[in-house]
Amino acid sequence: MKEEIAKIGENSKNEINSCKDLKQLSDLKVKYLGKKGELTVVLRGMGSLSPEERPVIGSLVNQVRDELNELFDKKEKELKQEELKKRLETENIDVTEPSKKIELGSLHPITQVIGEVEEIFLGMGYEIADGPEVEKAIYNFDKLNTPPDHPARDVQDTFYITDDIVLRSQTSPVQARVMENQKPPIKIICPGKVYRSDSIDATHSPVFHQIEGLVVDKNISMTDLKGTLEMFAKKCLGEKTKIRFRPHHFPFTEPSAEADVSCFVCGGKGCKVCKGEGWIELLGCGMVHPNVLRNCGIDPEEYSGFAFGFGVERIAMAKFGIEDMRLLFENDVRFLKQF
């Protein structure tokens, strides 16, 4: 058996030294040291030896196995080095060759407008407030001076989840939540997505984005509101932009107004963008109704405030000269690349 072990050791060493690749080396390791390998078979035959021979043969087998393991490890390192050298020689990279063109994305026009409006109002000392899109009717209507028999609560005008839960029809519920949990002074804007049961056309969508603002403090007046909106219009649409108020009605403000801005395209002379009027309707606004303040735990005898709200899509359409709102939602890359 000694001769057999010595022969296995000699043959295996010769084969290891002549290996050309890692696959051949792996197969050779299985041939000699695997579960059914030649050296393992010798170990299994030791049961037929005498008690005196077993330790001698066992020691010899272990010696040969250790030598083979060392040879296998050494040869594996050599073959890996050779393989790496070949790869470096054959896989050269030309660093001067132009790389593949990477298409860079850009911010959606809606996202651009929201970001710009936020920056304008943050610069004026406002904070940004957020709230749920799936809202309780009490915040969407009741606290905003819109009782259950008000037309705005008709199921045809609003998306109801249950009788008491709706998809918010404006971001005003955020204002109600802030007033309920924060003492004046309050100075916030509330950007977000809102839902109304409108048919889709060039100027309407059942899902759109809105930004509302709220200021509550002592001695707040309509002049504060107009000055704020004039500043916003000039920063957003251009320094020459003018603003005008038209009387209107909103249940949550009194007095209320629609605010128009002078056409940024024609400067008020009349064009197709402003439909020849020289003015573009921009937003609704007014002084916070005393009932709203009272419903949110604020004393209207001590505090007053103003609120305003506008659709982001309307600002984007005015700012970028877009005539059809649907273009903002169709995700046509050819359209979006323009911005």
Is 83 among the domain residues? yes
pLDDT of residue 119: 95
Of 31, 63, 90, the domain-final residue:
90
Are both 86 and 194 inside the same structural domain? no
CATH number at residue 200: 3.30.930.10
CA-CA distance, 104 to 88, in Å (whole number)? 32
Q: In this structure, are residues 170 and 131 in contact, taking their beta carbons and an 8 Å threshold? A: no
Are both 244 and 190 inside the same structural domain? yes
CA-CA distance, 339 to 113, in Å (whole number)? 11
Are both 52 and 166 inside the same structural domain? no
Is 292 among the domain residues? yes
Mean predicted confidence (pLDDT) in 260-281:
78
Residue type, 39: L
Are both 72 and 113 inside the same structural domain? no
Is 97 among the domain residues? no
Of 25, 59, 90, the domain-final residue:
90
Mean predicted confidence (pLDDT) in 261-279:
77
Is 98 among the domain residues? no
Are both 240 and 129 inside the same structural domain? yes
Q: In this structure, are residues 321 and 274 in contact, taking their beta carbons and an 8 Å threshold? A: no
Are both 138 and 282 inside the same structural domain? yes
Output the pTM of the full model.
0.67
Q: How many domains would you assign to the chain?
A: 2
Is 286 among the domain residues? yes
Please, is 64 exposed, middle or buried when counting C-beta atoms within 10 Å of its C-beta (0-12, 13-18, 19+)? buried
Q: Which pLDDT tens digit goes with each residue over 170-204?
A: 999 999 999 999 999 999 999 999 999 888 887 78
Is 142 among the domain residues? yes
Mean predicted confidence (pLDDT) in 297-301:
95
pLDDT of residue 168: 95
Q: Which pLDDT tens digit goes with each residue over 18-77?
A: 888 888 888 888 887 777 777 777 766 666 667 777 777 777 777 877 888 888 888 889
pLDDT of residue 274: 72
Is the confidence at residue 11, as pLDDT, over 90? no
Of 90, 118, 152, the domain-final residue:
90
Are both 65 and 38 inside the same structural domain? yes
Are both 142 and 202 inside the same structural domain? yes
Is the confidence at residue 157, as pLDDT, over 70? yes
Are both 240 and 321 inside the same structural domain? yes
Work out the percent of the chain whose per-residue pLDDT is above 90.
42
Are both 169 and 206 inside the same structural domain? yes
Is the confidence at residue 1, as pLDDT, over 70? no
Q: Which pLDDT tens digit goes with each residue over 72-113?
A: 888 889 888 888 888 777 777 777 778 788 878 889 999 999
Is 255 among the domain residues? yes
Lowest mean pLDDT segment, chosen from 85-89, 223-227, 245-249? 85-89
- Output helix, strand, coil percentages for the chain, rounded to the nearest 5: 45, 20, 35
| Nearest-5° Cα angle at 227, 130 to 169 | 30
Mean predicted confidence (pLDDT) in 244-251:
92
Is the confidence at residue 273, as pLDDT, over 70? no
Average pLDDT score, the chain: 86
Residue 7, domain extent: 2-90
Are both 81 and 122 inside the same structural domain? no
Lowest mean pLDDT segment, chosen from 103-107, 134-138, 141-145, 228-232? 103-107
Are both 81 and 212 inside the same structural domain? no
Is 96 among the domain residues? no
At residue 142 the predicted structure's pLDDT band, cuts being 50, 70 and 90, is very high
> Strand 207-217 vs strand 186-195: parallel, antiparallel, or unpaired?
antiparallel
pLDDT of residue 306: 97
Mean predicted confidence (pLDDT) in 136-147:
93
